[in-house]
A and B are shown apart, each in its own frame.
Chain A
Amino acid sequence: MHIAKDTKMGDVVHHNHSVLTVMLRFNIKLGFGDKTVDEVCSEYNINTSFFLEIINAFLDPNYFPSKHLRTFSVNLIIDYLLKTHYFYLTHKIPAIECMIEQLIKENQGESDLRLIRKFFKEYKDEFINHLKREDEAVFPYALRVETAAINGLNDTTLVKQMTKYSMNDYLNEHDNIEEKLFDLKNILIKYIPPISNQALCIHIIEELFSLEKDLHDHSRIEEKVLGPKVMEMEKQLLAHT
């Protein structure tokens, strides 16, 4: 099922409730009654077609009209990416962290489990660095490129920057932050000692799967939508100098 603008927002959630976290990022609150996607979006001042592209790409990995997503402004795309970062940092990571803490607390006898906490702590540090670099360097740069593409290139430092570190360099070194999650999942699935609170373990594994999927969708927007779009602008700007 592809979501259209006249689909009822409630039906979207019934179809696949994992979209709730996407709605959270757009700051849409529950209780939408029988309102359609379009109605809810206009209520919250959200660009409906952008919302639809994001939701559909999130729901169906094969639905990826990256060409269509590229028609939206860098500003709009980055706004969503930033909101997603914020969602990871304030919801996803703390939730997993908290459950791992509980796992250790409940199994004091299994002192080896402490290593799982250490592993996740290392992961979290790497993760935060990755996001920070995008928030503080990559995204502001992309926005400057867009501004120049609209208002003309009157920023000489930007030309220097474009030749020194461009979007292409970012894409080349953009690393796969899902990889380490895969290890953690596998350790919990295959190698953890038989602890009594299986429900907790399952919950952690579910959260890891969900974060992994989410990150995959996120990186795809960074690499297949934002990256190429900015590179296109860089090319045009450099051609004019």
Chain B
Amino acid sequence: MDKVAYIIVEPVPIVRWALSRIVEEQPNSTVDKEFDSMHRLVDHLQKHSTDVTIVGQSILLGLSAEHLKLIKSKSKLIVALAENEAQTPNPLFFETIHQHDSLQNIQKAIRKATCEMAKHKDNKPNGSALSDREIDILKDIALGLSAKEIAAKNFISPHTVITHRKNITKKLGIKTTSGLTIYAVLNKHIRIEEVE
């Protein structure tokens, strides 16, 4: 499974560094990007999305509704780093951590966010076995047929062939045709003589 990707936005370098360090140390979690200001984050989110965004406290204080909406739409979870417990937790935040929290609590919060994301990821057709239909398509790909030929042979549209291929790649973690061929042979879907 792909790691859960985090974005951190926090102006104070040492806090940003510490957060990034903590995230990287948790299983299945990785920091994708770090930003020191909201406008840098906005620039990035115009084009990209992420799993979890951690929003630092001073950013949090000046956060406009519009920006919050953007973060919400481009990241699946938000973790807030609040100044103290008195700050009312926003229901839009999956977790709110505090500067004075113990390290263990912060680590726990990150792990919880990662687990939550991992659940979402597992729901997708990812890591599960290939369907019979997909195995048929895989064989054809391995034999070197083009998308057009596979479509005609199986009475489906080339577009559907491409969708199948995408799903196969996602499930197996193999992108190239020669890689898929090896997989098909090693799993006895086709014989090596057919491709050599």
Contact = CB atoms under 8 A, between A and B. Distances in A.
A122 B177 CA distance: 12
B92 interface: no
Interface string A193-205: 1000000000000
B162 interface: no
Interface in B156-186: 172-176, 178-179, 181-183, 185-186
B87 interface: no
Interface string B30-42: 0000000000000
Interface residues of A, number: 19
Which residue among B172, B186, B195 has the maximum number of chain A CB atoms within 10 Å of its CB?
B186
Which residue among B178, B182, B192 has the maximum number of chain A CB atoms within 10 Å of its CB?
B182
A184 B174 CA distance: 8
B13 to A, nearest CB: 12
Interface string A101-128: 0000000000110111011001000000
B185 A187 contact: no
B192 A184 contact: no
A179 interface: yes
Contact of B182 (A111, A116, A179, A182): A116
Given A112-B192, A115-B192, A115-B195, A184 B179 contact: yes
Interface in A174-224: 179-180, 182-184, 186-187, 190-193
B178 A191 contact: no
Contact of A182 (B175, B186, B192, B195): B175
B88 interface: no
A187 B183 contact: yes
B187 interface: yes
Contacts of B187: 191
Given A115-B182, A191-B183, A186 B174 contact: yes
Nearest to A185: B173
Nearest to A193: B186
A191 B186 contact: yes
5 contacts: A114-B192, A119-B182, A180-B176, A180-B179, A187-B186
